[in-house]
Copies of this chain bind each other. A is one copy, B any other.
Amino acid sequence: VTGASALARERFSIPNDVIYLDGNSLGALPKVTPERLRALMREEWRSDLIASWTKHDWIDLPMTVAARLAPMVGAKPEELLIADSTSVSLFKLLGAAVRARPNRPVILTQRGNFPTDLYVVHGLADLLGLEVRTVAANEILSAIDERVAVVTLTHVDYKSAVVHDMAAINAAARAVGAFTCWDLSHSTGALQLDLNREGCDLAVGCGYKYLNGGPGAPAFIFVAERLQDELRPPLQGWMGHADPFAFEDQFLPGGGIRRFLTGTPSILAIAALECGIATFDGIAMAQIEARSRVLSQAFVERVEARCGDRVRLASPRDPAKRASHVCFAHQGGYAVMQALIERKVIGDFRAPDLMRFGFAPLYNDETEAIRAADTLGDILDSGEWDEPRFHERGKVT
């Protein structure tokens, strides 16, 4: 059947007996990553030692690897860099935004936003005496006013997979002179993004989900070119200096996106992320987005056919309105997910009752979607999920 196979399964090393539907939490291992890191250690670090920073262009790696992401998110290469964690990156951008709007006391965000985004927002607001305005998703547009310095939202809801209308929110913010700062953690590598066409100001995104960069991979930062000279991150460090190796006492921000660097980033971690990004080589994001909807839709239809009203779809029914994962609610969702994992169908659980399944078209296919749905049906039929061992807590997933 045309389109029935994964787009690039051969680029990954995944155990054969596993149906892995949690690439939205930790992407699978690209086959080339171990060899790339071995070469970096043996042929760069070992052999050229300190000279590697120039000889192997480590010094530019945060920009050169980010540039490979540019076509995937609709940004210019010089609008992206890779450095710190998503949380730290978000702090930098929000800090820069509120500094550039000193007379505006409000950071606007969404109730139920991904928790670390809320923690970062509140940490910054507490530090600066700002006000956090937290509203429901459908109240965002009406909550944007001239007291708002920056609107920060996660583009794709980490539970429901609902996708925000970026263009509308960007336009509303720009109309009142507020910035937008998007968290693209559940979008990048899953949806076709066009940050510039949608009018985005600022964004961060995760490296270890759909981008397959490895556990705790560094995040990326997007700053629209038109804003780069205006903004200064509060977290300024030597790698963001115009001339880091001049060792000057005074901070002189580097040109363009480079000023958003802070300390020395992990070269091993960025190199691993580059391998993850390379798993998308030659595959259009439009194709990935379309395939992810085919996969999630096949899964949804099979689950509903097989399980009926024993589960409830907690994501938009219209595939065009959701991203690359879907959630089903079940009162015993935690235990059902543990039973699925024991049968090597790996998704994750989000309180209070959501079973979450992510589809990564690079390595997932329809057969997996159907088998996962059937396994869920079997587990509900047999009632095995209600065995005590599946109710034990303490798992990370």
Asked if A248 is at the interface (CB within 8 A of a chain B CB), the reply is yes
Q: Pick the interface stretch among A143-151, A266-274, A280-288, A292-300.
A: A266-274
Q: Is the CB of A263 within 8 A of B86?
A: yes
Q: Pick the interface stretch among A69-77, A191-199, A220-228, A238-246.
A: A238-246
Q: Is the CB of A46 within 8 A of B29?
A: yes
Asked if A116 is at the interface (CB within 8 A of a chain B CB), the reply is yes
Question: Which residues A378-395 have CB closer than 8 A to chain B?
Answer: 394-395
Task: Given A34-B42, A87-B238, A88-B84, verify A216-B267 contact (CB < 8 Å).
Answer: yes
Residues of B within 8 A of A128 (CB): 127-128
Q: What 0/1 pattern do residues 15 to 30 of A give for CB contact below 8 A with B?
A: 1001010100110110
Most buried by B among A22, A91, A233: A91
Asked if A85 is at the interface (CB within 8 A of a chain B CB), the reply is yes
Q: Is the CB of A50 within 8 A of B37?
A: no
Copies of this chain, how many? 2
Q: What 0/1 pattern do residues 351 to 390 of A give for CB contact below 8 A with B?
A: 1000000000000000000000000000000000000000
Q: Is the CB of B86 within 8 A of A84?
A: no
Complexed CA–CA distance, A51 and B340 (Å): 13
Q: Is the CB of B118 within 8 A of A219?
A: no
Asked if A38 is at the interface (CB within 8 A of a chain B CB), the reply is yes
Complexed CA–CA distance, A85 and B269 (Å): 13
Complexed CA–CA distance, A238 and B51 (Å): 37
Asked if A124 is at the interface (CB within 8 A of a chain B CB), the reply is yes
Residues of B within 8 A of A233 (CB): 123
Q: Is the CB of B88 within 8 A of A119?
A: no
Closest Cβ–Cβ distance, residue A389 to chain B (whole Å) = 15
Asked if A133 is at the interface (CB within 8 A of a chain B CB), the reply is no
13 contacts between A and B (CB under 8 A): A14-B49, A26-B53, A38-B38, A53-B397, A85-B237, A86-B264, A87-B239, A118-B249, A119-B236, A123-B234, A216-B264, A216-B267, A216-B269
Identify the 8 closest CB pairs spanning chains A and B, nearest first.
Answer: A85-B263, A87-B237, A87-B263, A116-B238, A123-B236, A215-B267, A266-B269, A53-B396
